[in-house]
Amino acid sequence: MKEVNTVGQNKEKLTELSSTLMEVFVSDVFKKNNVSKETTHSLSEDQKQKIKSVVEDLKKQVDDFLAGNTAEASEEEVKEALEPLAKKTTLREIIRNKKQS
């Protein structure tokens, strides 16, 4: 049961993080294009609706992505994923190996 809470908490954290990143990205785009609060009120209802639909679509994609990543990995998959990390090689060793090859 503890794992379920952890997965739920991770999903909430990822959702919060993605929302924050989206806000930063949008504000950056607005700054680059000299868009201010005064100019945003001049959007037509059609433009506003398109923006809302894009945001909803992005939310759905994020939720789908998060739902796909919550599946538990088998112990064997975890070992395979961690195997390259266990074989830590330094840059010096990599260069030596390339020279020897």
Q: Which tens digits make up the pLDDT trace of 48-93?
A: 888 888 888 888 887 777 777 655 656 677 677 666 666 666 778 7
**Would 92 be classed as within a structural domain?**
no
Q: How many residues does the chain have?
A: 101
Query: Would 81 be classed as within a structural domain?
Result: no
Predicted local confidence at residue 28, as pLDDT: 83
Question: pLDDT tier at 25 (50, 70, 90 boundaries)?
Answer: confident
Q: Is the pLDDT of residue 1 over 50?
A: no
Containing structural domain, residue 58? 2-76
Query: Would 49 be classed as within a structural domain?
Result: yes
> Residue 64 to residues 10, 11, 53, 70, 83: CA-CA distances in angstroms?
14, 11, 16, 10, 29
**54: in domain:** yes
Share of the chain above pLDDT 90, in %: 0
Q: What is the pTM of this model?
A: 0.38
Residue with tokens 């994923």: 81
Q: Is residue 93 part of a domain?
A: no
How many structural domains are present in the chain? Answer: 1
Write phi, then psi, for 70 (nearest 5 degrees): -90, -5
Residue 60 lies in a domain: yes
Residue 9 forms part of a structural domain: yes
